[in-house]
Amino acid sequence: MTSIVTVTLNPTIDVFGEAEAVRPTHKVRLGGTTYEPGGGGINVARMIRELGGATTAIALCGGEMGSFLARLLTEEGIALQPVAISGQTRVAFMVRDRSSGLEYRFVPEGPRVEIADVEHCVAAISLHREGYVVASGSLPAGAPSDCYVRLAKAAQRNGLAFVLDTSGEALRAALEHGGLFLVKPSRSELEAYSGGPLDETGLAREAQKLVEAGKSRFVALTLGADGALLASPEGVLRLPAIPVPVRSAVGAGDSFLGAMVWALTENWSTADAFRLGLAAGSAAAGNIGATLCTREDVFTLYQRVHAC
């Protein structure tokens, strides 16, 4: 079985509930409250586990909430390699207003970390000798912009394929380092990297330029309601969105990435793995709250996109 390691530098406990109406000043009482392990790489690991894959999640964990995160992951059957930090793992809140159907998301910055914490993640990656490392999520406070470069170098030293989903200066630094296996920017993230707005042709051109320049072997560009495109050494594959009622954006991009990487470890073609990723992202968007989609949801939608 091909090894998959995920890395989350700023994980969360995602608390979700529903209210009759969200109003200022008044107490907003919630029903259907759930507690889910969250954050970029954690959600990637959860999607892989749902599809039947095995993964090890490396995550910075601190305080009582860090212990709670570990317990939630254990209950889901996900192996955790915790890296202890002095701060408290953050707690994010999502509230669905039943009266309007709108979802409100409150995401704290999270604990400040030290460079030594990041180096402990580098050391944890160095214990693995084959497979994939998937790093996903924003950088926590205090983390230098080259964090993902450090992780990529550790993976590359051991012959591991490095997969990245992040934004801003962290994305720029990793792309400038180059040699990534797969990167998954959104439209706005690619436009920020490229320096301005891009039309359909420009998006495909810029994604393909990253491949040709050796920045990343594959670029999976997610475009929300406009679908996604995959740039590879073979060219560009463009797929439309799968029509689903969008109920939440939580974990959609991570579900896309987790499903695509899982399919690659199962020796699917890159194009079919990309299709499965699109199906998983759409399935996650159709769910309410922080609960990710099921394997059945993903493969039902995959049948619809497979003809594309």
Which residues have a catalytic role annotated? 254
SS3 282: helix
Q: What is the DSSP letter of 26?
A: S
Calculate helix-pair angle for 147-157, 168-177, nearest 10 degrees.
30
SS3 121: helix
Calculate helix-pair angle for 168-177, 187-194, nearest 10 degrees.
70
Chain Cα centroid distance, residue 21: 30
Neighbouring residues of 123: CB distance < 8 A, sequence distance ≥ 6: 154
Q: What is the dihedral sign for C-alpha 213, 217, 221, 227?
A: positive
Q: What is the DSSP letter of 139?
A: P
